[in-house]
Amino acid sequence: SPSFARRPKTIVKTSIVAMGRIGMRYLFRAIASTRQREAFTGAALLLVIGVALLMTKVGMSPALGAFVAGVVLANSEYRHELESDLEPFKGILLGLFFLGVGAAIDFGYIRDHLLLVIGGAVALILVKGAILYGLSWVKGNRCTSALLFSASLAAGGEFAFVLITLALSSGVLSPETGRATVAIVALSMASTPLLILAAQHSVSCKPSQKTERESDAKDEGSPVILCGFGRFGHAVGRLLRSRGYGCTVLDHDSDQVELLRVLGVPIFYGDASRPELLTIAGAAKAKILVIALKDADTTLKIVENARRHHPHLKIFVRAYSRVEAYEYLKIGEELVYRDTLDSSLRLGADVLRTLGESDEAAERATRLYRERDELMVRDMAQHRDDSKEFYSAAQEAHRTLDELMRSDIEASRAEGSKAG
């Protein structure tokens, strides 16, 4: 009977899942104890091939077997190790998968049913694209962003072929319908580059049409204006407020502003690169402008506007990288603070202590490094446009730093000998 015929397939699938839940844990634990990465890789590949062959023996698709084996491995506690070990094979296996997909396409069927295949592909793209566009719109993306998102994912995916194979092996789809579905999905995937190009060149939606949220900044009479309240700026703002100093905070990330307001942080939404916004925020009465933004172009605009309209402000600038520090120093900014310098030197000092150096020696070494490095950055900023002079200055600065460190080590040893 049909139910009896399906029984071996059900038993096989149930056995594989049970083996994955119970047996694989002990198998991979034993393999892990050998500390042989090759054994992990071999066992995973053997499992996939073995399950695929087992599925074939009971009259099911090997692709379904490989899929089930993948599910078993993905739910294993060793999945991260397996993912790392199988990474070199991923490209090859994907290539084989798509070769198999290409071999499964019946081009004769496409020729004989061209309108059906094209119509099905267009319908798939339109329906899926419309759903994705709506979801992207609901999530806050507008126009071009939503269009690019939907165009990139509107076609069918490779997982569709796994589902089609499963449906064919289970008798859900007839061979005729399966051939049509494979052809439609393949054609939709082939059209993805064209869809993305069309979306990029679309003139129906422009980013400039995006409705900009109005700034809600106001003059609080604070002596400090802080632009940017991310991972760098929030520490500055919290320190100032904890010491009782007023600080007007501006940020251009509306989600960040709303989140911080829920947490009770007084912050205003606004693009600080707009000259009028600094005026609204009280720049005429403020004494200090702190720019703690990651984006260099926005930072340069704010500096330029502040110098032009509020020259009395003392400007403190965050540099996200060494290259940005060169740019800010080159335009005359003196109070430039690199993003990770302090934390890097603190870590370096702790490493020196762990290696056996005294607290005094570690602190002196980091102080010397900071002083020389800041001088080096300022010197190299002057040669930023001349690559030959720039690299020459860098080499000279490194030699000077090495000589200073050697001299400091010798002085420390001499002091230790006298003390002894």
Residues 149, 285: Cα–Cα separation, whole Å: 45
What's the whole-number average pLDDT of the chain? 80
Q: What is the pLDDT of residue 82?
A: 73
Q: Is residue 177 assigned to a domain?
A: yes
- What the block records as the tokens of 252 is 């251009």
Does residue 143 share a domain with residue 243?
Answer: no
Orientation of helix 62-74 relative to helix 2-18, angle to 10°: 30
Pick from 68-72, 313-317, 329-333 the range whose average pLDDT is largest.
313-317
3-state secondary structure at position 227: strand
The pLDDT-based confidence of 3 (bands split at 50, 70, 90) is very low
Residues 142-166 have a mean pLDDT of 78
Percent of the chain with pLDDT over 70: 85
Supply angle C-alpha 391, 395, 397, rounded to 5: 115
Does residue 331 share a domain with residue 266?
Answer: yes
Residue 155 has pLDDT above 80, yes or no: yes
Q: What is the pLDDT of residue 390?
A: 80
Q: Is residue 215 assigned to a domain?
A: no
Does residue 311 share a domain with residue 232?
Answer: yes
Q: What is the pLDDT of residue 53?
A: 83
Q: What is the pLDDT of residue 20?
A: 60
Looking at the structure of the chain, the number of domains it has is 4
Does residue 13 share a domain with residue 82?
Answer: yes
Does residue 308 share a domain with residue 377?
Answer: no
3-state secondary structure at position 248: strand
The pLDDT-based confidence of 7 (bands split at 50, 70, 90) is low
Domain that holds residue 60: 2-104
Q: Is residue 148 assigned to a domain?
A: yes
Q: Is residue 11 assigned to a domain?
A: yes
Residues 308, 68: Cα–Cα separation, whole Å: 66
Write the pLDDT tens digit of every residue in 382-419: 877 777 888 888 888 888 888 888 887 877 777 666 55
Write the pLDDT tens digit of every residue in 209-254: 444 555 555 556 789 999 998 889 989 988 998 898 888 888 888 7
More confident site: 3 or 224: 224
Q: Is residue 217 assigned to a domain?
A: no
Residues 80-93 have a mean pLDDT of 74
Residue 208 has pLDDT above 60, yes or no: no
Does residue 197 share a domain with residue 137?
Answer: yes
Whole-model pTM?
A: 0.50
Does residue 397 share a domain with residue 295?
Answer: no
Structural domain ending residue among the three candidates 282, 306, 336: 336
Does residue 304 share a domain with residue 348?
Answer: no
- What the block records as the tokens of 41 is 């890789």
For residue 223, count CB atoms less than 10 angstroms from its CB and return exposed for 0-12, middle for 13-18, buried for 19 or more.
middle
Does residue 233 share a domain with residue 320?
Answer: yes
Q: Is residue 150 assigned to a domain?
A: yes
Does residue 78 share a domain with residue 61?
Answer: yes
Residues 46-70 have a mean pLDDT of 76
Q: What is the pLDDT of residue 1?
A: 42
The pLDDT-based confidence of 330 (bands split at 50, 70, 90) is confident
Does residue 56 share a domain with residue 133?
Answer: no
Q: Which amino acid is at 42?
A: G
Does residue 111 share a domain with residue 96?
Answer: no
Residue 340 has pLDDT above 50, yes or no: yes
Q: Is residue 161 assigned to a domain?
A: yes
Structural domain ending residue among the three candidates 174, 206, 238: 206
Structural domain ending residue among the three candidates 172, 206, 240: 206
- Here the CATH number for the domain that contains residue 288 is 3.40.50.720
Residue 380 has pLDDT above 90, yes or no: no
Write the pLDDT tens digit of every residue in 273-306: 888 888 888 888 899 999 999 888 899 999 999 9
Q: Is residue 212 assigned to a domain?
A: no
